[in-house]
Structure 1
Amino acid sequence: MTAPSETARDSTPVAEIPWRRLDARIIWVDGLFALLSLVPAGLALLVADEPGASTLIPVLAVAVGGVVGAARDTLRWVKTRYRLTEELVELRTGLLVRQHRALRRERIRTVSTTARLRHRLAGLRVLTVGVGQPGATGYEALQLDAVTRTAADELRRELLAGSAETVSGGTGAEPPGERVFARIRWSWVCYNVISVWALVTAAGLLWGGYWLAQSFGFDAAGFVAGLVDWRTLGPWRTGAIAFVGVGALGVLGMAVAFVTENWAFRLVRVDTPTGAVLRTSQGLFRTREVNRDVSRLRGVEISEPLLWRWMGMADTNVISTGLTIWSMTPATTILPRGPIGVARSVAARVLDLDAGASPFAVPLRRHPVAALRRRIGWATMVTVVVTGLLAWLGGLVAALPSWLWLIGVGLLPLALGAAVVAWRALGHGLVGEYLVVRSGLVSRSTAALARPAVIGWRLRQSVLQRRLGLATLTATTAAGHGQYAAADMPAGIVVDFAEQVVPGLLAPLVGDVPVEPSPVSVAGPSPDASPLEETCHRVG
C-alpha cells in the first residue's frame, strides 16, 4: 500500500509535478520586524535633545537594515519555487540572475530544521538539505526559508525515509522507536566558558552597551569613572579590577550563550521501518534539529583540546560519508563540549556497542621511543631557527635589546614539553570491527573507523623515518576527513597491521615494507567510493 500523495507523485510525469511556494507568513513577519527596527531611531529622537551623528548613524543603520531585509525576503518569496520528484529535489530562485538547482535524493546526507525567534512566532521553519561534501563545488546545501512546521516535518520524513515511513504514519501504526543517548547537563556550562573567547565576548558586550548608552544620551564612561577613585587605587589595582570585571562579564556572556544555544538538547536514535536517523535537537530562541542517516555513519571521533585537557574536556563528532568534520556545521557534532567520560559513553551507544567493548575503552598500543626522538629533533631545530632569527634581528635593529635571542633559548623547554605531549598522544589499535588511531598536539583526536569503511592504504617513510625504523600508515575512506593516519609506527609491523584491519587489501605488499621516501598507495572498492576511489594503484 502506498500513500496517496506518493502514488500521485510517482505516477505523474516530472514535467507535470507542481512547483510549491515558500510560506507567505514570512512576508508579514519580516514586515513586523522591519517596523520594530524603526523603534530605536524613534526613541533616540525622542530622548536625545539634539542627537548627533554618533547617535543617528547607528540607529538609522539598524532601521535601514530591517527595511532592506524585509524587502529582500519579499522578492525572494515571489521568485522562489521548489518541488520534489521521485529522484530530485529542485529549487528555482533569483531575481536578476535566475538559478535552477537539482539535487539527487540518493545523495542526501542530512536534513536539518532551524527556527529563529521570528520564525517560531509565525510557526515557520528553515529546512536545510545537506548533500555531499559541504563546501564542495556542486554539493552546497539546499535551503528552504521558510516553510511551515508541518511541511518541514513532512519533507524531512520523506527525504530521509521515503514513502514507507509515510505509510506507517498514515495507517495508525506504532510511532517509530526512539532511544535517548544524551540530554543536556547544566554542569557542562563550566566546560564552555573558560576560553579566550570570553574576553572577546566581553569586548563585544561592552561596545554594544556603550553604543546603546550613547544613543540615548547616557555618559557610560563618566558613570564608570565616578564609581571609585581610580587614582587612589593605582594602575596595578585598576588593571586587576578591570581584568576581573571584563573576564567575569565574558564568562557570564558565554554561559548565557551556551544555555540559549543548547537549551533542551537531546541526542536520540529514531528507528523507522525504512532505517534509522541520529537526531540532535536544541535551542531556546533559535531551535535547531539535525537528522543524520545512521546507515551512512562510519565511526566516531573524540577530540581533547590541549589547554583544557586537565578538565577532561572533549568534543564529539561522527564520521559519516558525505560529511566532513572540517565543514564547521552542526551536522557532524553530536554533543556539546563536555566531559570525556560522557563523550566515550555516548560514542559507544552511537556505535551500538557495550561500554566495555567500545573502541574508546581499550588502551591503545603506544608508539616507539624513536617517534619521541623524531619530535625532539624537530623541537630542537625550531628552537635553533627562532633563536638565530631573534639574534639576527637584535643585531640589525638598534631599537631591539641585544638579549632578544635569549627568548628563543627560553622556548626550548616549551618545545621539548610539546614534543613529549605529542609523542604520548600517539597510539593505534584494532578493537573489534573498528580501526582506532590517536594523534595530535593542540587537540588530541581519537578516531574509531569501521573496518569496512577503509577503502585504501597509504604507506609513507621520510628519510628520517627510514633511519629511525618508523613509518606512517594512513587509512583512506569516503567518510569524515577522508584519511586517518597512525604516524610513526614501527616500520616492521605496518603491513601486517594493515592486513589485520582489511585482509587482502595490501596483498601485493605483504612482506614488502616501503623503503622509499615516496608514498605507496593501494585503494580498494567501497560502496561509498567514487569510480576514481575504486582504483588500485601504487605511487612511487
Structure 2
Amino acid sequence: MSTPQTPYAPEDGWRRLDPRTVLVTALVVAGVVAGAAVPATLGLARWLGLPGAVLWALAAAVGIIGVAAGADRVRWHRTRYRIGAERVDLHTGLLLVKRRSLARERIRTVDLTANLLLRLLGLVTVRIGTGEHGGDSTLELDPVTRAEGERLRLLLLERATTPQPGEHRDGELATLDPRWIRYAPVSFVAPMLGGAAVGAVMQISEWVGAQGEVIAWVGDRFQETPLLWVIVTLVAAALAAGVVGALGLWIEMWWNYRLEREPGGTIRVRRGLFTSRSISVEEARLRGVDLVEPLGVRLVGAARLDAITTGLAQDNESKNADHNTVLPAVPRPLADSVAAAILREEATPTGAPLTRHPRAARGRRLRWSLAAALAPVLVLTLLGALLTPVLLWIALGCAVVFLPLAVALALDAYRNLGHALSGRYLVTRSGTLRRSTAALERAGVIGWTVKQSYFQRRAGLLTLTATTAAGGGAYSAYDTDAAEGLTFAAEAVPGLLEPFLERDVRPGP
C-alpha cells in the first residue's frame, strides 16, 4: 500500500521527525527564559536602570531562543528513522553521527508520551525499547504526529498471536473511578511533598534574601505559643500542603486512566491529564503481577497493581517512571479482580491462602526491630550521662514512642509473611511499610537462591529467592521452615532444584 509523500517522509523509506519540533523547542526555551528573565532584570536594574536592564534581558532572550531553535532545526534535518522488515534504524547527529539499530523481534515496548504543548499540536514522543539495561536499548522519536505514533506502536508490537489460556475478553479491563483519589493522601507521597514544600519555601526565601524575614514572621505568629504546639502546628501545615500536592499529583498522573487488552495480546495503559502516557505490555512477556500495599493505603483497604514483565522500562530514563504500574491504588477486591483478568485466571493468585512461616521468624523480626529502636535511645542515654540531662529526657521520649512502634511493626511484618502455589503461579508475600504480594508464573523462574545465615540455621529457617528475567528479577520467601521451603521450591519448578537436594531415604523393614 502506498503512502502519500510528505517533506519528512522520503521515498526510500527513511522518515523525518515532525518539523514542528523547532516550534516546540522555541516555546519551551521561551518559557524557561521568561522565568529566569524576571530576577535577572531586577538584578541588572541596580546598575543599568530599568529600561537598560529590560533591553539587555530582551536581547539575551532572543539570542538564547534563536540559538536553541537553530540547534533543534539542525537536529531535525540530521535525524532520520526507518522501519524495515527486520530492523528499526535511527540516524542522527551532525559532528558526532550516531547510527543505531534495533532488531524488530527484540522490541518489547512502544510507549507514547505527550506533554500539554505536544498535545495541543497533535504530537507525541515515541520510545521504542527492547527492555535491556542502558540507553542503547531505547530509540526515541521526538516528536512525531499522533497518527504516526499509533501506526508505529501497532506495527512494531504486531506479533503472530498464540492462544492464551482462559476466557477473558479483549477490550476494557478497568477505567478511572474518581473516588480512587481518596487514597492519594494516605500514601507516603503526602509527607514527602510536605517536606519538599517547606524546603522550597526556605530555599526561595534565601535566594531573594528574605529567609530571615520569613523565620521572624513565623516566630511572631507563635510568640506566646508553647514549643510543643508550635511543632504540631507546623507539622500539620506541612502535611496539609503535602495532601494538596498528593491530590494534584494523582490527578496529573491518573486522570483519563484506562486499562485494556487489545486484540493480538497486548495490555495497554493510558493515563495522564496534562502529560498523556500510553504504555503497552506484550502479554506474551507478562510473567505475573505484584499487589503492592504501602502501609497507609493498606490500612484503608486498598492496593495498587504492578506488572511483572520482561522488557519493560529498563533504560536509565524509564526506571523511575512507574511504567510497570497498571492500576493505581484501588479497593483491594477490585485489585484482585483486575489481577485475575490480566492473568486470564478465574481466581486471582494474589488472593490464594498462604502458608504461614514458623514462629522463629517472628522472633527474628522482633529482635531486629527492637535493636533498631534501642540504638538511638542508648546513644542519647550515653551522651546525656556525659553532657546534659536534657538528652536523657529525649532518650526517654524516644523509648516511649519507638519501642512500642517497633514491636507493632515487627509483629505486622511476621503476619504478612507467606508463600503458596496457585495453579501456574507461585506466590510470595512480605513487608510491613510496603507489603508486596507477588504472583510469579512458575515457568518464568530461571533459578533459585537459597540463603541460610548462622542464626537462621540454628532456628531451622532459610530464605528462598526465585530469580527471573522479569520485573525486579528476584522474589523472595523470607524465613521459611527449612524443609518445607525446599519442598515448596522443588514443587514450584520441578527438576530445577532436585539435583541439589539430599532427601532422607529410610531403609525398609
TM-score band w.r.t. shorter chain? 0.7 to 0.9
Q: Is 1:434 aligned to residue 425 of structure 2?
A: yes
Give 1:119 deviation, angstroms: 1.1
Question: Matched residues in 2 for 1:138 and 1:337: separation?
Answer: 30
Distance in structure 2 (CA, Å) of the matches to 1:64 and 1:493? 71
The two structures have a TM-score, normalised by structure 2, of 0.80
Q: Distance in 1 between matches of 2:460 and 2:173?
A: 44
Unaligned runs of 5+ in 1: 6-15, 165-176, 215-220, 514-540
- Seen in structure 2, the aligned counterparts of structure 1 residues 376 and 249 have a Cα distance that, compared at 3 Å, is closer
1:208-231 CA-partner distances (Å, limit 9, x unpaired): 99899x9xxxxxx89x979xx947
Work out whether residues 422 and 441 of structure 1, in 8 Å CA contact, stay in contact via their aligned partners in 2.
yes
Percent sequence identity is 38
Q: Identify the range of structure 1 (257-266 vs 297-306) with the bigger mean alpha-carbon deviation.
A: 257-266
Change (3 A) 1:462 1:38: closer
Question: What is the alpha-carbon distance in structure 1 between the residues aligned to residue 469 and residue 36 of structure 2?
Answer: 53
2:305 corresponds to 1:316: yes
Cα distance change, pair 184–399 in 1 and its aligned pair in 2 (3 A): same
For 1:203 and 1:368, how far apart are their aligned partners in 2?
45
Distance 2:235 2:364 in 1: 41
Code of the aligned partner of 1:192? A
**Which string of whole-angstrom CA distances, capped at 9 and with x for unpartnered residues, describes residues 304-340 of structure 1?**
1124421223231100112369922333110123332
Q: Name the structure 1 match of 2:6.
A: none
Among 257, 260, 284, the alignment partner of 2:252 is 260
1:258-308 deviation line (CA, Å, top 9, x unaligned): 22332211000001xxx3111011122211111111110010001111244
Mapping of residues 21-170 of structure 1, within 5 Å: 21-34=16-29, 69-133=68-132, 136-137=133-134, 139-161=136-158
SS at match of 2:110: strand
Q: What's the RMSD between the two structures over aligned residues?
A: 4.1
Q: Provide the rounded CA distance (Å) in 2 between the counterparts of 1:383 and 1:47.
A: 51
Partner of 1:341: 333
- Segments of structure 2 that go 5 or more residues without pairing to the other structure are 4-10, 162-168, 505-509
The answer to whether the Cα contact below 8 Å between 1:260 and 1:285 also exists between their aligned partners in 2 is yes
Distance 1:242-1:485 versus aligned 2 partners, 3 A rule: closer
Whether contact under 8 Å (2:383, 2:391) holds in the other structure is: no
**SS state of the match for residue 192, structure 1?**
helix
Match of 1:289 in 2: 278
Please give the alpha-carbon distance, in whole angstroms, between the structure 1 residues aligned to 2:225 and 2:399.
35
Could you tell me how far 1:239 is from its partner in structure 2? 7.0
TM-score by structure 1 length? Answer: 0.75
CA-CA distance at 1:466 after TM superposition: 1.3
Q: What is the CA–CA distance in structure 1 between the aligned matches of 2:313 and 2:199, rounded to whole Å? A: 31
Correspondence for 2:465 among 474, 489, 498: 474
Q: Is the 8 A contact 1:34 1:67 kept in 2?
A: no
Partner of 2:319: 327
CA distance in 1, matches of 2:296, 2:195: 18
Q: Say which of 477, 484, 487 aligns to 2:475.
A: 484
Alignment partner, residue 423 of structure 1 = 414
Which residue identity is paired with 2:328?
Answer: P
Does 2:311 correspond to 1:301? no
User: Does the CA-based 8 Å contact 1:33-1:66 persist in structure 2?
Assistant: no
Alignment CA distance shift 1:328-1:467 (3 Å): same
Residue 156 of structure 1: how far off its partner (Å): 0.9
Mapped partners of 2:201, 2:259: distance in 1: 35
Number of equivalenced pairs: 474
Of 423, 442, 451, which residue of structure 2 is paired with 1:451? 442
Paired residue for 2:365, among 357, 363, 375? 375
Distance 1:233 1:192, change over 3 A: same
Any conservation in 2 of the 1:437–1:484 contact (CA below 8 Å)? yes
Instruction: Write the distance in 2 (CA, Å) between the matches of 1:270 and 1:287.
Output: 19
Name the CA shift for 1:329/1:64 in 2 (closer, same or farther; >3 Å): farther
- 1:190 counterpart residue number: 182
Structure 1 residues 184-223: aligned runs within 5 Å: 184-194=176-186, 195-200=190-195, 202-203=197-198
3-state DSSP class of the match of 2:273?
A: coil
Partner of 1:412: 403
